[in-house]
Amino acid sequence: MKAIIFDMDGTLFQTDKILELSLDDTFDFLRERDEWHTLTPIDKYREIMGVPLQVVWETLLPLHSNQIREKANEIFLERLIENIRNGQGALYPNVLETLSFLKENGYSIFIASNGLTDYLKAIVTHYQLEDWVTETFSIQQIDSLDKGELVKGIVDKYGITSGAVVGDRLSDINAAKANRLLAVGCNFDFAKEEELALADLVIDDLMELKKIVTDTVNI
């Protein structure tokens, strides 16, 4: 089987459109309970975008208890999902056209994300991505929080023999290389130049995948 495995945040879904709204609501909750006293650390979150949520809260709330972190994560997830369902977010340009092209040309499509299951389900359902995506995988499904292992699970389950991992962060690039798949870096909102430098190919628009799958041998 040949397949393309996509990251979600910053690759298919423009997370930035709902990130600040949801994070502000979360830190308003913490401020109301006297657990936070300064501005919402939105820039810090953007720096670490793409890491598992457990790491997010350890980074944003380093001096807080696990109980507070878990509550913050709960509020954040609720607000993200509410904003998705309210239409506050958006897919990146040409997502549906690209997915349609890939499926029509014999590629199975998967999502492998560091996002939680309910959050990913909200996006897939709202934008009807199940019409193209065979299965969506969350980092929540594995204990190691290693995206390479998550991708390996997809490769093993479906017998994938060739393809690519498409994503905007180092975890996506490393996951591709660990599974001997093409690493396609997305130069989108959260991407970092030094991380993209490690990808096999870099794109500025998802439509560029059409040419890649047409021109690249063994993908």
Domain boundary residue, one of 85, 103, 120: 85
Domain boundary residue, one of 39, 69, 85: 85
Report the predicted TM-score, pTM, of the whole model to 2 decimal places. 0.93
Which pLDDT tens digit goes with each residue over 158-202?
Answer: 999 999 999 999 999 999 999 999 999 999 998 999 999 999 999
Task: Say yes or no: 35 and 138 in one domain.
Answer: no
Domain boundary residue, one of 70, 85, 100: 85
Averaged pLDDT for residues 6-34: 95
Residue 12 in this model has a pLDDT that exceeds 70: yes
Which pLDDT tens digit goes with each residue over 65-93?
Answer: 999 999 999 999 999 999 999 999 999 99
Task: Say yes or no: 113 and 37 in one domain.
Answer: no
- Structure confidence at residue 175 (pLDDT): 98
Cα angle: 109, vertex 218, 115; to 5 degrees: 30
Residue 216 in this model has a pLDDT that exceeds 90: no
- Structure confidence at residue 83 (pLDDT): 96
- Structure confidence at residue 50 (pLDDT): 78
Residue 217 in this model has a pLDDT that exceeds 70: no
- Structure confidence at residue 61 (pLDDT): 96
Which pLDDT tens digit goes with each residue over 141-157?
Answer: 998 889 999 999 999 99
Task: Say yes or no: 8 and 102 in one domain.
Answer: yes
Q: Which residues of 107-142 are buried (b: 16+ CB within 10 A; e: fewer)?
A: bbbbbbbbbbeebbbbbbebbebeebbeebbbbbee
At 98, the pLDDT band (50, 70, 90 cuts) reads very high
Q: Domain of 10?
A: 2-14+91-215
Question: What mean pLDDT value characterizes the chain?
Answer: 95
Task: Say yes or no: 108 and 199 in one domain.
Answer: yes
- Structure confidence at residue 40 (pLDDT): 96
- Cβ neighbours around 104 below 10 Å, total: 9
